Structure 1
Amino acid sequence: MDGEGWETSSVSDNEVDFQYRDDEEHQYACGSVTKLQFRKEISKARWDEEMGMAEVLEKKGKMWTTTGIIRGGKTYCLIEETLFLAEIGALKLFDDDNANTPMSLEDLYQKVAGRKHSCGWECYEVYRHLKSLGYIVGRHGIPWTEKGGNKNNELVSLQGNSERNEMGESLHEDYVAELFNNMHINAVKLAFDIYLPNSKFKKSSPVDPSFVLCVTSGYPPSKADAETLERLLGSIPLKFCHVEHGRVSFFSFSMVDLPVLP
């Protein structure tokens, strides 16, 4: 990575148009703030505080082909997925203690703001931004299904659970995962696996992501840190993201050949 240069972009939602707009989660007007839509059919889920996820009770629409993880024949939504679907009016969430009591957006905002479930507000803004643009976004280190994982997405987990998750399933068998579990390198962490919009995407066979995204806090990573992350990911491209005052910016390293001075 000698002579690297930063490539940067900060894209607003109305500057990008993708070919695939089939999923219902994208059928709302794009903007800097996710807009609630009134729907005839709304999925239902129950929040499980111990697991830190929502168990989906009733699925409606096409969004579930690219949202939620499947374990034991059930679909669960991570906190960022749960909040996003609730914001766009696609999911009605019920309280963990009382199945008849709906949870409010404010309740979910407080959970994200408290970083209790391994996704703080900056990470959520990144997730919401990319989902609004049509990308397929998955939590890094968390396979979509019990059979859908690969060696790359088992390396590092934002979830921060070293051997087994709350459902008793082994997520991190590799020693590298143990070493870099809940990875922070100078406030840099691997956050999301990003896939290009794809109407044929399957959770059971997602192949490698188009790139893995790191969310930085404050400053870009050092050269040594970036090289360490790239070695961990192998052939999968690595990009960095920074959120400041609601503005989501993306960065990447590229090789630069410096001219030979006389």
Structure 2
Amino acid sequence: MEEIQDWESSDDSTAADLDLNLQDWNDEEHHLYKSGSIPKLQFRKDVSKGRWDEKMGLAEVVEKKGGMWTTTGIVRRGKLYCSIEEIAFLAERGALLLLDDNDMTIALKDIYTKVADGKHGCCWESFEAYRHLKLLGYIVGRHDIPWTLKGDRSHCNTSSPQGTLENNGESESGAEENISIIWQLKNMHINTMKLDFDVYLPNSKFRKSSPGNPSFILCLLRGNPPSEAELVDIEKDCKGISLKFCHVEHGRVNFFSFDRTELPVLP
């Protein structure tokens, strides 16, 4: 029988509860993530630029500056793309300038609107969970979306939408269309229980081409806590990797874990 044994929670003042090892934090990421609990618009001398593609629901990074890109964005056919949660997080810190098709700057409030709309595979609660983990120094990517397909033969088959992105001879428009399909598939389940983020411990030697297994997989709780049947089903999808749950309410981010226990037999 399954029972909630230990609900581990964390807010911005309890980073130690998440067993962080910040010794591997590189200087660039340390500068980027070091902040208080209240996000503030920041300004930096060297700013990357990305061009938003509404159809894809992604931004192509057209000018890359800083070391944060070693742990941010996905690479497809030699191009770097970042998701809406990555865009919002970097834009808050003045590390990314988002442009539209006419090279006009998209304001931060308009980026927030895109997040809140929930049309690009990320709702506001998901973004708050993402931001919280990034501020703690974790490396975070969307679950089951490879950072890069280089050297990843497991995704190089025609039955996988991810695997078609770097097939020989495919047009650039075909690659963009398939990236869009990935995000559309994620959007179909935006309000249901699903695995949201793969989370890695801070690591200055992290490589997108060989990231290894995440430290844990995060599932955002939407509504009521999961039933026993739902918990069993989603644990199967983790393939032995630790699973943590997250609940966001009024800006407070809480992390939970479930342990399987046997109840004593009463006489």
TM-score by length of 2: 0.82
Partner of 1:78: 83
Pair 1:106–1:166, CA change in 2 (3 A): farther
Pair 1:150–1:53, CA change in 2 (3 A): same
| Inter-partner Cα distance in structure 2 for 1:145 and 1:23 | 24
| Inter-partner Cα distance in structure 1 for 2:55 and 2:175 | 8
Secondary structure of residue in 1 paired with 2:24 = coil
Unpaired runs of at least 5, structure 2: 17-21, 156-160, 166-173
Partner of 1:112: 115
State how many pairs are aligned. 245
Q: CA deviation at 1:212?
A: 1.0
Q: CA deviation at 1:182?
A: 4.1
Partner of 1:247: 252
Counterpart pick for 1:214 among 200, 210, 219: 219
Deviations 1:88-128 (A, max 9, x none): 11111111x211x1110011011111111111100000000
| Inter-partner Cα distance in structure 2 for 1:45 and 1:181 | 22
Residues 11-30 of structure 1 aligned to structure 2 (within 5 Å): 11-16=10-15, 18-27=22-31, 29-30=34-35
The code of the aligned residue for 1:90 comes to: A
| Inter-partner Cα distance in structure 2 for 1:214 and 1:198 | 22
Unpaired runs of at least 5, structure 1: 153-159
- The reply on whether 1:259 has 2:264 as its aligned counterpart is yes
Secondary structure of residue in 2 paired with 1:254 = coil
Q: CA deviation at 1:29?
A: 4.0
Deviations 1:58-105 (A, max 9, x none): 11111011000000101000000011000011111111x211x11100
Q: CA deviation at 1:10?
A: 2.8
Q: How much is the aligned-residue C-alpha RMSD, in angstroms? A: 2.9
Q: Higher helix fraction: Structure 1 or Structure 2?
A: 2
Q: CA deviation at 1:25?
A: 4.3
Partner of 2:176: 167
| Inter-partner Cα distance in structure 1 for 2:73 and 2:83 | 7
Partner of 1:132: 135
Pair 1:171–1:209, CA change in 2 (3 A): farther
Deviations 1:36-76 (A, max 9, x none): 33222111111111111111011111101100000010100
- The reply on whether 1:190 has 2:195 as its aligned counterpart is yes
Deviations 1:153-183 (A, max 9, x none): xxxxxxx99x98962448999xxxx9x9944
Pair 1:90–1:137, CA change in 2 (3 A): same
- The reply on whether 1:66 has 2:95 as its aligned counterpart is no
Contact 1:46/1:94 (8 A) holds in 2: yes
TM-score by length of 1: 0.83
Partner of 1:203: 208
Q: Higher strand fraction: Structure 1 or Structure 2?
A: 1
Contact 1:83/1:105 (8 A) holds in 2: yes
